[in-house]
Every structure is written in structure tokens, then in C-alpha cells.
Structure 1
Amino acid sequence: EQAETEKSAPAKAEEKETAPPQEKKDVEAGVSLAPESREKKRVEPGRPARPPLQESEARVKASPVARRIAAELGVNLASVNGTGPEGRVTETDVRAAAKPKPEKAGVSPAPKQPTRLPLQGEGARINLSGMRKGIAERLVQSKAPVPHFYLNIDIDASPLMEARAELKSAGEDADTSKITVNDFVLKAAVMAAVRVPKVNASFDNDAIVQYADVDLGIAVAIEDGLLTPVIRAAQNKSLREISELAKDLANRARNKRMKPEEFQGGSFTVSNLGGMGIDSFSAIINPPQGFILAVGKINKMPVIDNCDQVVVGHRMSIWMSCDHRVIDGALGAVYLKELRHLLENPALLLV
């Protein structure tokens, strides 16, 4: 009050005379001033002083009790709809405005970041190795942006078993005796890609890159994760050469004696978990490759032969995971048809 009654500098005298008194302005605005507002308010010890009113709040019609409750609850009076006479804000209005509003139907609150809680019975927390981090990053790069779709066939593996037994009968000292069923699958996968060259490709932004060579990736499980050594220009390799290279690469991968360029690139990959007792599975594409084959184990099962008789047969399941940007369903089916023909006629793979 003392500041208001003091005379201002001459430059401001005119302005002060023309400006209406603050009290009158408040009365014209319909603000009822409580007697204590004109006096210096005592602040009780331990109780925070009431913050000054904003201009928008000062113009609101409200009872003194409503103003006090609003200050205590942190409610902006300008945002409260008054239900009292002439729209005056009452204590009830302030308390109603302070209550949390129910969520609107169909609108979900913003998700909170989950706090990591210790797992039940957690014994150890193992930090990722560099290889595991690399595998995680590449698989996320593949599964998230690459549109996967899956095709499956069952192979009559009886001819493969017979061919394998015949090669093994040549004696353990013979090179051909070391050829495995998986080697037949690798050779067949390469030959089928040569016969259906459109699958030997990858997606590259605004184009599909079709490869001149079939660079065959072989999934090899190692202690720290997974490596995919590559047999370069596999279309020029015989069954025996593919068998020898696959064993050499797998052995060096498990013993960590590989050069980086030996497991980089590749047209497509073959992953075989049949030796670990897996009947069938689907695999994630190794980008930027166009597909991956997942090979299960050979199972004995009752089958119906050409004479409609139930006999004991051998069946092997093969899944093909395709990048739909490169390979359509029909193209994938043509490739698998060729792969089946080669595996069910293994003599074609010995040429």
C-alpha cells in the first residue's frame, strides 16, 4: 500500500492519474475482497505462504473459502466452472476440479517405461559377448523390416538313405564314405538355385540384385552363438568338394580360426538341426539374403506307397523362409519342387 501511495517520477505522473485505482478495478470485475486481503497476512510457522494470484484467477468470481482451497490443492480457478450464483466458483467446484479425471473410453494412457525387476530365482546375469550383440542386431534388422513368409515340404528321404549307405559301403578310407545326408542337401540346394536363378538374389532399396554365383552359407553353431561360413561359387563344386569344404569351414568356425571374409556375404543359407533331434523348424533370414532353408531330421513313419500299401518310409521336413520383396510364393514353390526332385533322385547330385 505504501508503494501505491508514493508519488511517482514526473514522467509517470500523468499515467498514474489516468489509471483507475486497482481496488475499483477489482470491484468492477465483481471480485469480492475479503477483509484479510487488505491486511498483511501472518504466516504460520511450518505452513507455506499462499502464492500470489495470477491475473486470470483474480478476475474469477469465487468465494474466499474457494480461493483458499484452490491455493492449497493447486487448482487454477480460471479453469474451474462455477456453479454458484452468477457463475461464482464454490468450494465444491474446486474440490471436484482437484479430483483425477477418469480416462476416456478407447484412449490408453501413455505407457510407462518398465522397471527391470530381479527375476525369480535369478542366479547370474551374463553380459553379451561381441558376437551375441552382433547376432542380436542382425536378427532384429532381419525380422523387423524383412517381410518373411514360409513354405514347407516333406521329402521322401528313402533314396537319400540308400545312396548314403551305398557310398559308405566303399570303405572308410574312401573319400565318398565321409559324405553325409547334409552334404546331399547342400549340393541339392545349390543345384536348385542354378535351375531357378531368380531365388539367388537379394533386395537392395529400389532394385533386386541377382547374383551370378551361388555363394552358399552354412549355419554352424558354436559356443558363443552362430556363424555362417560361405562356400564361394558353390555351383562349380562337386558333391565331394562341397562335403570337404563344409567340414573344414565348420571345424575352423568352432575353433575360432576363420577369417572375417570367410563368413561374410552369401546368396542364401542352409541351417540343419536334424542332427540335434529337431523334426522341423523355420529360420530367420540372414540379411541381405533372399531366403534360408531349415532342415529337420529324417524320421521313420508309416507311408502309403505307389501300390496304396502302408509301408515304413523315411521323411525329412524342409522349411523355406523367404523375403517377400524378392521371392513370391509361386517362385518359392518352383524352387522347392526342384529341390525335392533332386533329393528324391540323388544320382543327379553325383554328376
Structure 2
Amino acid sequence: MATEITMPQLGESVTEGTITRWLVKPGDYVNKYDPIAEVMTDKVNAEVPSSYAGTVEALKAEEDDTVAVGDIIMTMILESEGSEAEEAQTVPLDQAEKTGGQTGGETAGEPTDTHSEKTRYSPAVLKLAQEHSLNLADISGSGRGGRITRKDVQSVIAGGHKSSGAETKQKNAAVNNEHAFAAEPAETSVSSDSGRYEEIPVSGVRKAIADNMVQAKHDAPHAWMMIEADVTDLVRYREKMKADFFEKEGIKLTFLPFFMKAVVEALKAYPEVNARWGGDRIYRYKDVHLSMAVATENELFVPVIKNAEEKSVRGLARAMNRLTADVQHNRLKQEDMQGGTFTLNNTGSFGSVQSQPIINTPQAAILSVESIVKRPVVMDEDAIAVRHMVNLCMSLDHRVLDGLISGKFMNHIKQTLENMNDDTLSL
């Protein structure tokens, strides 16, 4: 009897993953822990390892299919069961329409022609075609053996094409209603071939990010506050230390580790912020696991620095450099993304001076560090001086936090930053 392999949860709050590439095919023998597929989520790109040793019986999802956590992606004949992989079945279109469709994989070792593969469809392809009234027989497949993939269907949808049946319905509707409605002005009807816009299919990562952001805004009543800090002494200290730091560590000393240190100390002083909503209770964490938003050109990841309270500025800089490199080189692991208790967002690196971040639920708050800018500031005795100023913007879950604690927390960060200098800092 075949054993079902399901989509694993590849990060905290991750509910689905997109199979970007299968690394095995029906008939392949797989050792335990061998990678079987590359999977992409909104938080991590990772290889999924096999939990068993055995022979692949059938692939239950296509490449580019988005699969919910816990759903079946593959079946295997385990080594202990002592049998070879059986033929993986797919359903021709006429039968799929009667049965609702079955996931298709190729028969192990069977040579197939273009026609036989073209009429084999995955449930995702069938569902997408039905939703948009497309005739799959009219679509050219780019997959193996001419097989139609989800990307092929999305391409047709993006091009504004419809099946002959849908076109007939539209024409009949137009005839029936031509006397009932006045024609819309031509400028309000924009087609994809007009040159005024282009339609971009939503990738698995972008869809997952969108779903998580909507869920976070829906679940958590967001409140927002901002405070400014004078970091002139910190700017001078970093300028003095950065050359020596680079010589010893081999990495640049940015401002971010100093802000991380200030946030960690504030979380220790106000553990109410280092918490999450639990429905009928609030969970308050004893350790500070700092989630750090790291963006690539097209994706956003939130790796976690575990036990950040135990690290110096130098240690935080090392940890951040390692995680950034792992993101850039696609080396993040599942455990790198889990367990965060508070999120820090470095929007200042893009030149932003004010933002309203969305909470990384179920955490209670997220803080954005904005750009450090020179501004004239009124000092003691009404003297005006040019100072290095920074805005700190925090979004908070009002179920967990109120203004009093949040204000004290933000003021603690401000005081820590404004007192960072030669006398108080030790890398």
C-alpha cells in the first residue's frame, strides 16, 4: 500500500507552499532525508526532504501548483513494504469531467506521445480552466509531452482569451441587452493590447504575502505611534569604529545592530511587548527572538535571530550578516524562520522617513527604523543646531498593548539610542 507524503509547514504561520521544481519522478528510489522537491512560500524557499526510504509511486501535484499544508503531494512505496512503484494514473479530459479530475503523474518508464500527455490534466489546471470558461483543447501545452500546465492557462487568461463557448454566451448577452444599456465610453474600456497596461500573473510568493498581510490586518486591530531620536553621538561613534570593525570582522558596521541592541534592551525592560495574542490569553515570552525583515528584488523573508538578548552589538552584526547572506544565496532553512517574538524592519535603508508596518502576527508589535537625516533642532536655551535625527515607527496589536506601555517602550529605545557613545558602548 502506498504511503502519502504531504506538504510540510515551512515556517510559522505558513499555510501553503508552491512546488517550483520536482527533484524526483515516478519510479525513482529515494533515501530517507533525500530532497524530493523545491518549495517556495512567502517566507522561505526550501528543499523538502523525504521522511522515508522507498520508491516514488506518483506525484500528486504539478510544478507551480500551490498546495495547502497537510495536502498530499506525492505517494511512495516504502522500502519496508518490498514492492516496486506502481503505475501513476492520470485521467483523460472526458473522464476527468465526470469524476471531477485526478492529479496526474507520468507512468514510470512508459514512453508517451504528445497527444496522450496533452489530454492529461491536474486538478489545478482543470479548476482554473473551469473558473474562466476556457476550453483546454484549444490551449497549447508547454510541459513535458505537450502537457498543459497552470502557467499555460494563466497566460491565456492574462491575454484576455476565452473559449468559443464563452464567446458565444457573451455575444448572445450583448444582443439581448443592446437596447437596455447605453454603450460605455471607449476610454473606460481598456484592453490588454491597448498598450496602456500589462497583466502580470501573481506568483506563489506574492499571493502568499498578500494573503498573510490581509489576514494580519483582519485579525489584529492595528494602532500606530512614532517617536524621533537624536542619534548624533551614535553616528559619530560608528564613524570612528567602522574601519577597525571591518578589519577585525570582515563585515561592514551598519547602524542596524545598534538599533537591534536598543530594541532588545527595551523588550527586556518591558516584556509586555515581547508577547503574542492567544485568544483567551496573552503569551509573554522570556527570550527575545528577533525577527528581521530582509527583502530581495522580488521576495520578502523574515528570518529570526534567536536569543538576541545574549548578544552584543558585534554579535548582532554577525548574526544579521549571516542571515542576509543566507537569504541572498537561497540558503535559509525552515528553523531560521520560526520562533520570532518581535519584528524589526529597516525601512530606512530605502530612504523612507515614515512608515506604518503591518504586524507579523501573532506577534504583538513591529518596529520600523527610518532613515537617519540631518535636521535643525532646537537645543537648550533655544539654540538651534544641526543634528542627526531618526524616526522610529511602531505598529501594535491593540488587543495586547495599550498606549501607556507602548509609549514607555518607545521612550526606552529613544533614551538608549541618544546615550550611545564612547562612554556607554562596547562592541
TM superposition score normalised by structure 1: 0.64
SS in 2 for 1:170: helix
Structure 1 residue aligned with 2:411: 337
Q: For 1:9-28, list aligned pairs within 5 A.
A: none
CA positional deviation for 1:145: 2.0
User: Which sections of structure 2, spanning at least 5 residues, go unmatched?
Assistant: 1-188
Q: Residues 204-231 of structure 1: CA distance to partner in whole angstroms, max 9, x if unpaired?
A: 1100000111010111111232111100
For 1:137 and 1:236, how far apart are their aligned partners in 2?
34
Query: Which of residues 285, 296, 304 in structure 1 aligns to 2:359?
Result: 285
Query: Which of residues 160, 165, 169 in structure 1 aligns to 2:239?
Result: 165
CA positional deviation for 1:251: 1.7
Q: Is the 8 A contact 1:185 1:343 kept in 2?
A: yes
Structure 2 residue aligned with 1:43: none
Distance 1:118 1:331, change over 3 A: farther
Distance 1:176 1:199, change over 3 A: farther
Structure 1 residue aligned with 2:283: 209
Structure 2 residue aligned with 1:350: 426
Distance 1:176 1:186, change over 3 A: farther
Structure 2 residue aligned with 1:304: 378
Q: Is the 8 A contact 2:245 2:252 kept in 1?
A: no
Q: For 1:315-326, list aligned pairs within 5 A.
A: 315-326=389-400
- Structure having the higher strand fraction is 2
- Structure having the higher helix fraction is 1
Q: Residues 37-65 of structure 1: CA distance to partner in whole angstroms, max 9, x if unpaired?
A: xxxxxxxxxxxxxxxxxxxxxxxxxxxxx
Greater RCO (Cα-Cα under 8 Å, separation 6 or more)? 1
For 2:243 and 2:303, how far apart are their aligned partners in 1?
30
- Residue 147 in structure 1 maps to residue 221 in structure 2: yes
CA positional deviation for 1:273: 1.7
For 1:153 and 1:245, how far apart are their aligned partners in 2?
27
Distance 1:128 1:185, change over 3 A: same
Structure 1 residue aligned with 2:293: 219
Size of the aligned set, in residue pairs, is 236
CA positional deviation for 1:311: 1.2
Structure 2 residue aligned with 1:295: 369
CA positional deviation for 1:122: 4.7
Q: Is the 8 A contact 1:129 1:224 kept in 2?
A: no
Paired AA for residue 296 in structure 2: I
- RMSD of aligned C-alpha atoms? 2.0
User: Which sections of structure 1, spanning at least 5 residues, go unmatched?
Assistant: 1-115
CA positional deviation for 1:256: 1.5
TM superposition score normalised by structure 2: 0.53
CA positional deviation for 1:307: 3.3
Between structure 1 and structure 2, the one with the greater Rg is 1
For 2:326 and 2:198, how far apart are their aligned partners in 1?
30
Q: Residues 100-128 of structure 1: CA distance to partner in whole angstroms, max 9, x if unpaired?
A: xxxxxxxxxxxxxxxx9646745432222
Structure 2 residue aligned with 1:192: 266
- Residue 252 in structure 1 maps to residue 326 in structure 2: yes
Query: Which of residues 202, 205, 212 in structure 2 aligns to 1:128?
Result: 202
For 1:176 and 1:185, how far apart are their aligned partners in 2?
21
SS in 2 for 1:281: coil
Distance 1:304 1:329, change over 3 A: same
Identity %: 36
